[in-house]
Amino acid sequence: MHSKNEEIEFEESSGNIFADLELEDAEELFMRAKIGFFVCKILEDKKLKQREIAGLLEISQSDVSHLVNGHVHRFSTDKLLVFLKRLDQKVTVQISSHQRGEAYQQVILAI
């Protein structure tokens, strides 16, 4: 435990934990994590049982378990986009010039 006068050392995040950890393909990993989060959020809002999710997404119940427990690294970006389609979600890809300092890839949920 730190005393009140002792400064705690910290480093501010870039907003992308994968980049902060200096992982290869950090932007791809971050994008996949955000898409996976949105898939999980939609499933949570639907209040479906794992068996129902498996049928809807056409995956095994063990894969559903991985998905709802946040193990989205087990699914490709393409597979996560297929899940969004099966959840009756529209996905829009927008391409624009990159500006210095901004991420190359961005995922935004529009409700």
**Which of the four pLDDT bands, split at 50, 70 and 90, describes residue 2?**
low
User: Domain map of the chain by residue range?
Assistant: 17-86
Using CA atoms, how far apart are residues 81 and 90, in angstroms rounded to an integer? 10
pLDDT score, position 84: 95
List the one residue out of 100, 101, 87, 96 whose CA is nearest residue 52.
87
Spatial contact of 8 and 2, defined as CB atoms under 8 Å apart: yes
Residues 14-65 pLDDT 10s: 888 888 888 888 888 988 999 999 999 999 999 999 999 999 999 999 999 9
What superfamily would CATH give domain 17-86?
Answer: lambda repressor-like DNA-binding domains (1.10.260.40)
Q: pTM score, two decimals?
A: 0.77
CB proximity list for 65: less than 8 A, separation 6 or greater = 50
